[in-house]
């Protein structure tokens, strides 16, 4: 339901009545074919909110090209007829009679068991803060406006120009923390968590948008917060590529010469005032709760926190304060895309868990028309060449490619589309299949790895077997990588289309097999993440085997005093362990490891080793939650002096001997010990907040104590920033150091001293330390055995690699495997708990049914097989066995393949000297046809 | 005929690594010469020796099997 808002929620978990007010669209969604004539004929131009007001749209509009549903709407605030009673041009020109000015607001009530609130965020409006010059200096834009300036579907089609004179800016500044980390002038005290990374991304992408020549990018920052997975490397690469990072907050922004560009005034770290000209200034605006957050909270009956985000507990990060209502995305706290996508699954998990009893009771299957039998038909091929906005069309002459495609054998129809993946083009393809009797489709667009399923579905909806589509990847593997050579890129694109057409002509209908699913999960790792994943699945009704290699559940959490929200960990952990142990559907195995695994998604078969004894286990999915540990520092006198401790050791000390804090006069924390160093180039994410919490605890116990935190960038992201502010307020001293001037620790007699150069004073300080606490890097446990057994992967730092960081953040690349907790990347406990729920949610997708469809790309045996069995040994999945069949009266040896085990790798096909075994969709003929087509011989 | 030698290279790219890498090169806008014609396979192990030999025989200047 679009154009809708919730006006009332009554009832309770399991039985809510939700009243929804739907505003009139004035366009009948059933009749609208999204041809766009209404917008074309509409005389009323309106500032386009999607392009941050920098472009225009009409009063009859779609918000953007990929809108779902792709149906036009009429904006009643601007429509001339609806405001002044005259016009109705859209109605006159609409070819389907879809415009309906009689449309009225309607109110519906739906009965649901749970509610998930995902209203998103709004960006901070810098208008009111004159210091940023926004609104008065023309070439000062917000980061969201800049994002639109860069976008190919933005106001200037991706051609980067500045507002004042529409010239290309060559020198651009980003100002961080606009509307974040600021309490002086009505900004927000919290850190928005995403702006550092988007500014770095924008700075790097900028270079691509300018046609050669020099470009200078400068980022003015307080702390660079690149604490996400692979983010630190991205930050380092930006530095290598010449992006300047300046730790300063410009205090004045004035217009440049003749009102073009802007002059920034700032003071460098060594106290030097600087005036610097820039062509364009981007304000990295922070994230805020939506403007109507209070109204929404009142309607839903939930509480907000002091930052206006939905109040949740660190132990149940998506549960709002009213049972049955869940929140996700930036409405819970500012967060990036991977975290938002993860927590969307968490919210789905919690809703499914709350409604487990009703699961499947109202499910309906999507139905497709009967598949047309194309056997015996000659190939009739339709080719659709995508411009992808300007992504492809900027480099490849798509019209020339389309013209060329018309000359290829079997090709009956060719089109060029702006976005071949858009809903209207999907409809068009389906229509052409039916009108022209097309029986093979070639899509020349992006990569089949992301878009093949979409086009396969289009074929199914048009009554064709989905495997009759073939893609030519002219974007990722052509236009994007040959941007400097239009001519050769176009030649290559023609070749790619010719290859795809040649292969498509040989494509045969394929069918997917169904296999039974063992509706049991294996969870490896009994820490907070593993236990939460196990409970989430067990509560939904699935039996779970929880395997822990040590002798007790709990993992790292035993060493933590509070979570980042200040809630005590121990009572939570004890209750969690009790629930896991007492759950009738969870089998807990401590001192147990997985020895071996065979099988595939839905049907895994493993051997567990428990106290020397082996035990068989069958399961449909596995969640890997093997955790991480604090590393052992190799510097700062660690191990040589008992006063030098790691975080976890210091927490243990404070728990066991609380009086120790009162007796000490000083404590020094050193950050990034073993993190963000060349040999371990990632940020451990948790240590800044951990140090701040520990420092605050010391100050609370002993306000007279001198507490120092020596840091590189403080990364107390999100609401954690409040802890950092509190620490500064309490007099904890934060001193920054660089990798080139690390602190020095020495013993002077019996005393321990830390020497560090204060960047403001420009002098070395020698600080006595009764305790020296090292923020040691988090390192993953050794998972080489699991990687080998499951054939999954880790990144260079040893953390499990997800299938896609944004699209599939808790799936591993191996089907049926999911990841949660520290083994994915260092993270605080609330994020581990959220990720565990997300992994359980994704795992439950497999477990929810007792059978699942296999991929159709599997090996098959041809009549040329003579049973030589060469392939049997090379199959890495043990999917081939030798069999004896009765043929023409005498026993004949033949191989038999098991499609459930076969992964379609084709080692068998490459080994077979006689074409006796092949892989569907990748037969020798099909590959040969592509080779020949590539070499210019159309087949 | 162009003045400089422009080789024609047939590339067999494993769907799970090299082809994904090729896609990532695109997303990262890493620029490379346009001489290779990519063929997606489900594993580099699927590339039959005959495919390589035939490609060379039929005029390819090089064959890349990436996996």
pLDDT on residue A64 = 83
A247 contacts: CB under 8 Å, gap ≥ 6: A220, A221, A222, A269
Look at residues A695, A851, A850 and name the one whose alpha carbon lies nearest to residue A773: A695
Residue of B nearest to A234 (CA): B28
Report helix angle A398-405 to A486-506, nearest 10.
Answer: 30
In chain B, what is the straight-line distance between the N-terminal and C-terminal CA atoms, in Å? 33
Distance CA A534, CA A299 (A): 34
Confirm or reject contact between B18 and chain A (CB < 8 A): no
Cβ–Cβ < 8 Å for A713, A225: yes
Q: Is A612 left (phi over 0), alpha (psi -120 to 50) or beta?
A: left
Instruction: Please state the ipTM of this predicted complex.
Output: 0.97
Assign A733 to helix, strand or coil: strand
* Cis bond upstream, residue A461 (ω within 30): no
Confirm or reject contact between B53 and chain A (CB < 8 A): no
CATH of A630-779 among 2.40.50.140, 3.40.630.10, 3.40.50.150, 3.50.50.60: 3.50.50.60
Residue of B nearest to A503 (CA): B39
Assign domain A24-104 to its CATH architecture. 2-Layer Sandwich (3.30)
A-chain residues within 8 Å CB-CB of B49? 910
Distance CA A236, CA A218 (A): 14
Domain ranges of chain A: 24-104, 122-288, 521-627+781-852, 630-779, 859-919
Q: Is A935 left (phi over 0), alpha (psi -120 to 50) or beta?
A: alpha
Look at residues A181, A217, A216 and name the one whose alpha carbon lies nearest to residue A199: A217
> Confidence class of residue B2 from pLDDT cuts 50, 70 and 90?
low
pLDDT on residue A938 = 45
Distance CA A468, CA A52 (A): 42
Which fold does the domain A859-919 belong to in CATH?
Answer: Alpha-Beta Plaits (3.30.70)
Q: What is the largest CA-CA distance in chain B?
A: 37
The alpha carbon of residue B29 is apart from the nearest alpha carbon of chain A, in Å, by 5
**Chain A contact residues (CB < 8 Å to B):** 208, 447-450, 473, 475-485, 488-489, 491-492, 495-496, 499, 813, 857, 903-907, 909-910, 919, 922, 924, 927-928, 930-932, 934-937
Distance CA A352, CA A840 (A): 10
Which fold does the domain A122-288 belong to in CATH?
Answer: FAD/NAD(P)-binding domain (3.50.50)
Put simply, the answer to whether B26 touches A903 (Cβ < 8 Å) is no
Distance CA A820, CA A838 (A): 8
pLDDT on residue A939 = 42
A485-524 exposure pattern, b = at least 16 Cβ within 10 A, e = fewer: eeebbbbbbbbbbbbbbbbbbbbebbeeeebebbbbbbbb
pLDDT on residue A58 = 96
The alpha carbon of residue A499 is apart from the nearest alpha carbon of chain B, in Å, by 9
Q: How many CB atoms lie under 10 A from the CB of residue B49?
A: 10
Mean pLDDT by 10 residues, chain A (939 residues): 96 97 95 81 95 93 82 96 96 91 97 97 92 94 96 84 95 97 86 98 90 89 97 96 96 95 94 97 97 97 97 98 98 96 98 92 90 94 92 93 97 94 91 96 94 95 97 95 95 97 97 93 98 98 98 96 96 98 98 93 95 95 98 97 96 90 93 96 98 96 96 98 97 96 95 95 95 98 94 93 93 92 98 98 96 92 93 88 82 88 92 96 97 78
E strand map for A239-328: 244-247, 252-255, 262-267, 273-278, 280-285, 287-288, 325-327
Assign A503 to helix, strand or coil: helix
Of A484, A491, A935, the CB nearest to B31: A484
pLDDT on residue B22 = 92
Cβ–Cβ < 8 Å for A598, A585: no
Look at residues A603, A606, A604 and name the one whose alpha carbon lies nearest to residue A547: A606
pLDDT on residue B19 = 95
CA A880 to each of CA A254, A851, A876: distance values in angstroms, whole numbers, following the listed order: 73, 23, 10
The alpha carbon of residue A478 is apart from the nearest alpha carbon of chain B, in Å, by 7
Assign domain A521-627+781-852 to its CATH architecture. 3-Layer(bba) Sandwich (3.50)
Cβ–Cβ < 8 Å for A645, A608: no
Assign A735 to helix, strand or coil: strand
Confirm or reject contact between B42 and chain A (CB < 8 A): yes
| CATH topology match: A24-104 vs A630-779 | no
Cβ–Cβ < 8 Å for A200, A234: yes
pLDDT on residue A66 = 66
Task: Return the percent helix, strand and coil in chain A, to nearest 5.
Answer: 30, 30, 45
User: What is the model's pTM?
Assistant: 0.82
- Sheet holding B9-14: strands in order across? B36-41, B9-14, B62-66
Confirm or reject contact between B16 and chain A (CB < 8 A): yes
In chain A, what is the straight-line distance between the N-terminal and C-terminal CA atoms, in Å? 50
């Amino acid at each position: 339901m679009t154009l809708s808002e919730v006006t009332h929620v009554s009832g309770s978990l399991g039985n809510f009545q939700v009243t929804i007010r739907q505003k009139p669209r004035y366009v009948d969604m059933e009749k609208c074919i999204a041809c766009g004539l209404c917008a074309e004929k509409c005389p009323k131009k309106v500032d386009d909110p999607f392009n941050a007001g920098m472009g225009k749209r009409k009063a009859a509009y779609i918000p953007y090209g990929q809108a779902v549903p792709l149906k036009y709407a009429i904006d009643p605030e601007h429509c001339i007829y609806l405001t002044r009673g005259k016009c109705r041009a859209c109605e006159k020109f609409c070819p389907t009679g879809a415009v309906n000015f009689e449309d009225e607001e309607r109110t519906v009530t739906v009965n649901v068991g749970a509610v998930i609130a995902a209203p998103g965020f709004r960006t901070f409006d810098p208008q009111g803060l004159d210091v940023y010059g926004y609104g008065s200096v023309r070439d000062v834009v917000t980061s969201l406006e800049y994002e639109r300036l860069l976008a190919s579907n933005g106001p200037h089609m991706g051609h980067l120009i500045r507002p004042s004179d529409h010239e290309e800016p060559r020198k651009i500044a980003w100002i961080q923390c606009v509307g974040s980390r600021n309490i002086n002038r009505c900004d927000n005290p919290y850190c928005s968590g995403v702006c550092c990374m988007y500014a770095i991304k924008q700075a790097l992408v900028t270079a691509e948008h300018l046609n050669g020549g020099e470009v200078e990018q400068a980022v003015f920052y307080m702390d660079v917060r690149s604490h996400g997975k692979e983010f630190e490397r991205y930050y380092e690469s930006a530095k290598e590529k010449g992006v300047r990072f300046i730790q300063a907050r410009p205090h004045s922004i004035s217009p440049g010469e003749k009102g073009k560009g802007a002059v920034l005034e700032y003071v460098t770290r060594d106290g030097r005032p600087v005036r610097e000209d820039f062509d364009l200034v981007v304000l990295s605006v922070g994230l805020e709760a939506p403007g109507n957050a209070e109204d929404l909270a009142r309607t839903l009956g939930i509480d907000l926190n002091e930052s206006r985000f939905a109040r949740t507990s660190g132990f149940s990060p998506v549960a709002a304060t009213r049972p049955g209502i869940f929140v996700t995305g930036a409405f819970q706290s500012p967060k990036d895309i991977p975290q938002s996508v993860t927590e969307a699954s968490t919210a789905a998990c919690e809703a499914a868990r709350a409604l487990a009893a009703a699961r499947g009771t109202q499910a309906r299957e999507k139905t497709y028309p009967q598949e047309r039998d194309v056997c015996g038909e000659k190939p009739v091929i339709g080719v659709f060449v995508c411009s992808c906005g300007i992504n492809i069309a900027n480099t490849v002459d798509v019209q020339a490619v389309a013209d060329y495609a018309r000359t290829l054998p079997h090709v009956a129809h060719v089109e060029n589309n702006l976005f071949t993946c858009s809903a209207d083009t999907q409809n068009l393809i389906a229509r052409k299949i039916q009108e022209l009797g097309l029986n093979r489709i070639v899509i020349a667009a992006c990569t089949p790895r992301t878009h093949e399923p979409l086009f396969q579905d289009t074929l199914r909806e048009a009554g064709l077997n989905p495997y009759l589509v073939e893609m030519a990847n002219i974007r990722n593997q052509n236009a994007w990588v040959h941007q400097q050579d239009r001519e050769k890129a176009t030649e290559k694109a023609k070749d790619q289309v010719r290859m795809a057409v040649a292969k498509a002509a040989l494509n045969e209908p394929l069918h997917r097999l169904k296999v039974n699913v063992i509706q049991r999960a294996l969870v490896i790792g009994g820490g907070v993440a593993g236990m939460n994943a196990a409970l989430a699945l067990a509560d939904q009704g699935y039996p779970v085997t929880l395997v822990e290699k040590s002798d007790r559940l709990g993992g790292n959490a035993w060493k933590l005093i509070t979570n980042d929200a200040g809630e005590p960990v121990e009572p939570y952990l004890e209750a969690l362990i009790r629930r896991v142990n007492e759950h009738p559907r969870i089998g807990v195995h401590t001192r147990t490891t997985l020895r071996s695994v065979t099988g595939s998604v839905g049907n895994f078969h493993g051997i567990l080793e428990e106290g020397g004894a082996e035990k068989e286990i069958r399961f449909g999915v596995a969640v890997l939650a093997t955790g991480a540990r604090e590393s052992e520092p190799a510097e700062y006198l660690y191990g040589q002096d008992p006063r030098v401790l790691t975080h976890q050791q210091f927490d243990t000390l404070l728990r066991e001997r609380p009086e120790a804090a009162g007796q000490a006069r000083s404590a020094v924390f050193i950050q990034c010990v073993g993190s963000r160093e060349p040999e371990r180039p990632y940020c451990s994410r948790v240590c800044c907040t951990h140090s701040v919490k520990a420092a605050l605890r010391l100050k609370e116990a002993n306000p007279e104590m001198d507490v120092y935190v020596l840091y590189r960038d403080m990364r107390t992201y999100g609401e954690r920033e409040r802890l950092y502010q509190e620490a500064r307020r309490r007099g904890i001293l934060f001193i920054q150091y660089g990798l080139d001037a690390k602190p020095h620790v020495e013993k002077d007699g019996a005393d321990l001293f830390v020497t560090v150069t204060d960047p403001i004073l420009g002098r070395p300080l020698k600080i006595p330390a009764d305790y020296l606490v090292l923020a040691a890097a988090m390192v993953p446990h050794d998972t080489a055995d699991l990687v080998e057994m499951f054939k999954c992967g880790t990144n260079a730092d040893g953390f499990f690699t997800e299938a896609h960081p944004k699209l599939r953040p808790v799936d591993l690349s191996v089907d049926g495997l999911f990841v949660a907790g520290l083994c994915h990347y260092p993270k605080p406990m609330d994020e581990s708990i959220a990720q565990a729920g997300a992994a359980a949610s994704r795992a439950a997708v497999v477990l929810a049914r007792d059978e699942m469809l296999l991929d159709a790309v599997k090996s098959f045996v041809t009549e040329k097989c003579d049973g030589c069995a060469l392939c049997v040994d090379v199959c890495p999945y043990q999917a081939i066995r030798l069999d004896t069949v009765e043929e023409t009266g005498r026993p004949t040896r033949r191989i038999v393949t098991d499609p459930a085990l076969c992964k379609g790798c084709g080692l068998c096909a490459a080994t077979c000297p006689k074409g006796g075994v092949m892989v569907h969709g990748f037969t020798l003929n099909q590959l040969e046809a592509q080779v020949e087509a590539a070499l210019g011989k159309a087949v | 005929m162009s003045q400089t030698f422009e080789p024609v290279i047939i590339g067999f790219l494993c769907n799970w690594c090299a082809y994904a890498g090729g896609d990532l090169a695109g997303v990262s806008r890493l620029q490379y010469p346009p001489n290779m014609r990519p063929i997606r396979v489900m594993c580099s192990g699927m590339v039959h020796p005959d495919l390589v030999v035939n490609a060379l025989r039929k005029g390819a200047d090089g064959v890349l099997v990436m996996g």
